[in-house]
Chain A
Amino acid sequence: MTATPSLPWQPSQRQRERDAYRRARTRRSLLIAVVSSAVIVAVVVLVVGRSSGWARTRDSFFDLRTGWHDLPALLRALWINLQIMLISEAFILVFAALIAIMRTLRGPVFFPVRFLATLYVDLFRGLPLLIVLLLVGFGIPSLRLQGAPSSPFVLCIIALTLTYTSYVAEVFRAGIESVHPSQAASARALGLSYAQSMRHVVFPQAVRRVLPPLLNDFVSLQKDTSLVSFLGVTEIVLTAENLQSQDFKFVHLVFAALIFVALTVPLTRLTDWIARRQGWINPGSVI
């Protein structure tokens, strides 16, 4: 350090040239992106627009006026999907965490626990969701058990929870096992019990690591709520189909599709944003 106060830094001529060059490159890439996108759109418009069935398809799939008119009915039905999703999600998170921890318990005492948890995961991860839905949806009511749920809404939640818990449990388990054993060792060294070290040290780190795949499963769950229409719950897809059978317009299904996308995209961005803000994701290097 020199004793004389140095002047505030000014970019050198060379650096100004470099910055200008980089800006020019960015502009060029942007231009290329815009032009290539425009070309692709033009090609699609030309090819699709010239097909012989385009006029009929447009009237059925892109009749925006009809779609807009019936949009409130779709949105009302969407509320059913959201309820099913949110309630299932809460159960799934709790049960999956329990199953995952059960599978990581060591020692012969816990063999039955481990065995049952593994059996459950193996079974429900292998079963197609639709089969579980139909078996639960028609099987449980047919027992006519006292107090057994018969509302399709509740049965759907049970089926989704059963299936998705097995997936999410595996995500959690992968996360738990990715936390270095030295972390658990330091926690135990401080005198924490196994449960405490799991609860305060290992599991919180595991959750941070598996946040992206976890979100993936929940987006998938969000979409799979539409399968509950098989049990006659008039959620959004079934509502769209009903509308379509009345006016023979597929635009309702197109709108339903857009609604699903509109739900997923912000969720993904939100998770990325939270993860970055918390510093859970390493900031990328330049390479």
Chain B
Amino acid sequence: MTTPVLNVRGLRKVYGSAVVLDDLDLTAAEHSCTALIGASGSGKSTLLRCIDLLEVVDDGVVELDGEDITDPRADGNRVRTRIGIVFQSFNLFPHLRVIDNVTLALRRVHKVPRGQAEEAGLAMLDRVGLRARAGARPDELSGGQQQRVAIARALVTKPRLMLFDEVTSALDPELVGEVLSLVRELRSDGMTMLLATHEMGFAREVADRVCFLDGGRVLEEGPPEQVLADPLEARTRQFLRRIIDAGRL
């Protein structure tokens, strides 16, 4: 068996007395797309933040391409250059133009010369359909456009693994589609990705595996058609029932 891109074992994360992740296991093979579902507070975001080393884990291990990145001796900055993350609230830098948002890491972290970085940045913006807005400020863009820039910003450094943290939750319904179709494209390009989402329909379509998080662990996982349509666990059924009642599936 080949080494998975991501291998999480026994992950634990605690905030004060609240245990958010409790002995969580998860693996993601190369070119796989894993959807994380679960109620808010079930630890989806915390898991993604732990994988990107934005949080210090309290126990357990996260391996990226077989390397233990949660080892305190690992260089966190270098690890983060191999992982791309897109947040729910875009988090573009408001004082920088779109193109500068996209090229910041290339120029400052990867030391790519300005001309070359801008070329790569424009190509990436072209891919997300926003080349024409390269000179704009983030606040001149719609939410969907901002999120597409955020995706371009994460992709431009060619990460091994992409993390999507409810990337459409802050968008108006008519803008959700443009972002999802971009994620879909990435998927068909073979990007390895992990996406926390409330879009069950999208999870079913794009993911090859769905993980239901509950009580700080992966309670149930499997192919989307099984987990979403015929879950084994009562908690999963209960969660999906509520989603269906809310008209979201």
Q: Does A associate with B in a complex?
A: yes
Interface residues of A (CB under 8 A from B): 1, 9, 11-12, 14-15, 18, 21-22, 25, 285-287
The reply to whether B56 and A15 form a contact with Cβ atoms under 8 Å apart is: no
**Distance of B214 from chain A, by nearest CB (Å):** 7
The reply to whether B72 and A21 form a contact with Cβ atoms under 8 Å apart is: yes
The reply to whether A285 and B54 form a contact with Cβ atoms under 8 Å apart is: yes
B24 within 8 A of A: no
**Distance of B153 from chain A, by nearest CB (Å):** 17
Question: Given the interface contacts A9-B12, A285-B54, A287-B54, does A22 sit within 8 Å of B59 by beta carbon?
Answer: no
- Report the separation of the CA atoms of residues A252 and B19 in the bound assembly, to the nearest whole angstrom: 58
**Distance of B111 from chain A, by nearest CB (Å):** 21
- Report the separation of the CA atoms of residues A287 and B10 in the bound assembly, to the nearest whole angstrom: 23
**Distance of B164 from chain A, by nearest CB (Å):** 20
The reply to whether B72 and A9 form a contact with Cβ atoms under 8 Å apart is: no
| Among A15, A21, A285, contact of B73 (Cβ-Cβ < 8 Å) | A21
Interface residues of B (CB under 8 A from A): 10, 12, 19, 22, 54-56, 58-61, 70-73, 214-215, 219, 235
Question: Given the interface contacts A1-B215, A285-B54, A287-B54, does A12 sit within 8 Å of B72 by beta carbon?
Answer: no
| Among A9, A12, A21, A286, contact of B54 (Cβ-Cβ < 8 Å) | A286
> B19 — nearest CB in chain A belongs to which residue?
A9
Other contacts beyond A9-B12, A15-B58: 6, CB < 8 A: A11-B59, A12-B10, A12-B60, A15-B59, A21-B73, A22-B72
- Report the separation of the CA atoms of residues A274 and B137 in the bound assembly, to the nearest whole angstrom: 37
The reply to whether B55 and A9 form a contact with Cβ atoms under 8 Å apart is: no
The reply to whether B235 and A18 form a contact with Cβ atoms under 8 Å apart is: no
> B12 — nearest CB in chain A belongs to which residue?
A9
Q: Residues of B contacting A22 with CB < 8 Å?
A: 72
Q: Residues of B contacting A286 with CB < 8 Å?
A: 54-56
**Distance of A110 from chain B, by nearest CB (Å):** 29
| Among A12, A21, A285, contact of B59 (Cβ-Cβ < 8 Å) | A12
- Report the separation of the CA atoms of residues A256 and B110 in the bound assembly, to the nearest whole angstrom: 53
- Report the separation of the CA atoms of residues A197 and B179 in the bound assembly, to the nearest whole angstrom: 38
Q: Residues of B contacting A9 with CB < 8 Å?
A: 12, 19, 22, 59
- Report the separation of the CA atoms of residues A161 and B56 in the bound assembly, to the nearest whole angstrom: 49
Q: Residues of A contacting B71 with CB < 8 Å?
A: 18
**Distance of A12 from chain B, by nearest CB (Å):** 5
Q: Residues of A contacting B58 with CB < 8 Å?
A: 15
> B235 — nearest CB in chain A belongs to which residue?
A1
- Report the separation of the CA atoms of residues A24 and B223 in the bound assembly, to the nearest whole angstrom: 45
**Distance of A45 from chain B, by nearest CB (Å):** 38
The reply to whether B72 and A18 form a contact with Cβ atoms under 8 Å apart is: yes
Q: Residues of A contacting B60 with CB < 8 Å?
A: 12, 14-15
> B54 — nearest CB in chain A belongs to which residue?
A287
17 contacts across the A-B interface (CB closer than 8 A): A1-B219, A1-B235, A9-B22, A9-B59, A11-B59, A12-B59, A12-B60, A14-B59, A14-B61, A15-B58, A15-B59, A15-B60, A18-B71, A18-B72, A21-B72, A21-B73, A286-B54
